[in-house]
Amino acid sequence: MNNSIAELRDALRQASSIAALTGAGISAESGVPTFRGPNGLWRNYSPEKLATPQAFAENPRLVWEWYDWRRGIIRKAQPNAGHVAIAELERRKSGAADPPDGLPDHSGFTLITQNVDGLHDRAGSQNILKLHGDLWIVQCTGCGATELNEEVPLQGDLPPRCRCGAWLRPAVVWFGEPLPAEVWGRAVEASGRAKVFLVIGTSAAVYPAAGLAEVARRAGSRLAIVNPEPTPLDQVADWVLRGPSGELLPRLL
């Protein structure tokens, strides 16, 4: 194990393919609470209790209010230097700006995020694999229709209802639910192709997302962790950079 920023910077420069897995910690410096930190609690409920189909079935209004509270925080938040550095790394690693087929080449860098906050999009990342969905999209529990949360008309009752009459829910992945299959497939493929796999701001406690680091490692990728706290992946990592991602990631460019 190694903690040299300069060596990781060189490895990133030379790698033909990089994948990054991000978690709630990359948004912490934007003021967005993480799930398992001391600021993760809302009205004394743990996120693990609220982010479940059971909680929504038992108390849909409570779960909807939790998401409204989080959207309120995130709406006011700005992407931080960590999000910006990831977007810049993507630009540097993308192929020619104007390839023959006219399509941008994203094979050099893949951003895989567990986050649903949209801050990577707002920082300018283009090719984002969202494993756990998107809190700005809502989905009908009846007909499956999706729409942007901000376009749902405000009514008295929560949760709001779809035109078909069924409740709307946030289009995110709760415990016990499968990840979106196509996104997952692309994440596995990118992890298997990566020469360097970055694990940023995640406790690496939630599966199958955390398993992508092992997919990458088994395919020969080197592993780098960016986190102020220890994680279960530290022992198998090639680099462990202890600190906030908003400070460390810009130094990797």
Active-site positions read 132
Kindly state whether residue 142 participates in binding Zn ion, applying the rule CB under 5 A: yes
Q: Is 141 in the site for ligand BJW (CB under 6 A)?
A: no
Contact status: 207 vs ligand BJW (CB under 6 A): yes
Q: Is 176 in the site for ligand BJW (CB under 6 A)?
A: yes
User: By the 8 A CB rule, do 148 and 170 touch?
Assistant: no
**Is residue 228 close enough to count as binding ligand BJW by CB under 6 A?**
yes
Cβ nearer to Zn ion, comparing 164 with 253 = 164
- Using CB under 6 A, which of 206, 225, 237, 241 touches ligand BJW? 206
CA distances from 45 to 48, 49, 195 (A): 8, 7, 40
Evaluate whether 21 touches 190 at the Cβ level (below 8 Å): no
Query: What is the bridge-based pairing of β-strands 239-241 and 133-140?
Result: unpaired
For the chain, helix, strand, coil in percent to 5 are 40, 20, 45
Cis peptide leading into residue 180 (ω within 30°): no
Q: Which of 24, 187, 188, 225 binds ligand BJW (CB under 6 A)?
A: 24
The stretch near Zn ion (CB under 5 A) out of 20-28, 61-69, 73-81, 157-165 is 157-165
Task: Give burial (CB, 10 Å; 0-12/13-18/19+) of 32.
Answer: buried
3-state secondary structure of 130: strand
Residue whose beta carbon is closest to ligand BJW: 25
Under rule CB under 6 A, residue 159 binds ligand BJW: no
Choose, by CB under 6 A, the member of 30, 110, 202, 221 that binds ligand BJW.
202
Window of 13-21, 91-99, 189-197, 226-234 that interacts with ligand BJW by CB under 6 A: 226-234
174: number of Cβ within 10 Å: 17
- Which residues pair with residue 140 across a beta bridge? 168
Scanning 11-19, 35-43, 83-91, 232-240 for contacts with ligand BJW by CB under 6 A, the matching segment is 35-43
Interface with Zn ion includes 164 (CB under 5 A)? yes
CA distance 184 to 113: 11
Q: Which two tokens stand for residue 196?
A: 């360097």
Q: Is residue 199 close enough to count as binding Zn ion by CB under 5 A? A: no
* Residue span 38-77 as binding mask against ligand BJW, x where in contact by CB under 6 A, dash where not: -------------x--------------------------
Q: Look up tokens 């990089």; give the residue.
A: 18
Q: Is-contact 119 74, C-beta < 8 A?
A: yes
By CB under 6 A, tell whether 175 contacts ligand BJW.
yes
Judged by CB under 6 A, the number of residues near ligand BJW is 35
The contact set with Zn ion (CB under 5 A) reads: 140, 142-143, 145, 162, 164, 166
